Amino acid sequence: MNPELARFNMIEQQIRPWDVLDPVVLDLLAAMRREDFVPAAYRSLAFVDTQVPLLPGAPDGACMLEPKVEARVLQELKLQRHEKVLEIGTGSGFMAALLAHRSMQVHTLECHPALASAARDALRRNGVFNATVHDTQPAQGARGLAAEGPYDAIVLSGSVAEVPRALLEQLKHGGRLVAVVGQEPIMTARLLTRTGPAAYAERDLFDTVAPRLLGFGEPSRFSF
């Protein structure tokens, strides 16, 4: 595989057709070595339009999201160099690397110790030193990391039934949160922007499906 050709094709055939046209985002995707964040067993999938498993024996567990989804989320956040970001679900560390290149500081939470360790190594190898990976328990994801907040942007790198109020409250005024919300077979990537002390504007971005983040509540299946 020629990684540079594969990267070019990924951008031109997957990412641009998804209306990712910001030249800064496209240049970053062309420069970042996505293949360095993919487990060795799945390296051949680094540039394919699919989710890449990250945990051996758990194909439905933690994964890298499709390149076009990562790119679209990055574009929608419109990050600035002075901003601070929180990510829930470090996974491979690739999304944290993209966020770090567009912002001042990234704090990213991961409840799988092996993934947290691998992400730290990948970030270091790629010269990303403004992203801090925090080992956490699954339940902490829904609580965020208030001690380092408030944040200009929060990214949930996985799906949830609904966005916890505790995360929204860690946004600055004007801060943005992107999450994949809902139930299979169709979920929605949603952008929420804090407009006041307890006010948030919502905008649906696109339909997709992503693995569940651990530690987030599910709605009751029973009705009375």
Domains in the chain: how many in total? 1
Domain hosting 74: range is: 3-208
CATH number for the domain spanning 19: value is 3.40.50.150
State how far the Cα of 137 lies from the Cα of 145, in Å rounded to an integer: 12
Structural domain contains residue 219: no
In this predicted model, what pLDDT tens digit does every residue of 119-154 receive, in sequence order? 999 999 999 999 999 999 999 999 999 999 999 999
DSSP 130: S
CA 156 to chain centre: 5
State how far the Cα of 140 lies from the Cα of 109, in Å rounded to an integer: 8
In angstroms, the Cα distances linking 103 to 63, 74, 125, 204, 214 are 23, 11, 19, 23, 26
Structural domain contains residue 189: yes
Structural domain contains residue 221: no
In this predicted model, what pLDDT tens digit does every residue of 159-217 receive, in sequence order? 999 999 999 999 999 999 999 999 998 899 999 999 999 999 999 999 999 999 999 98
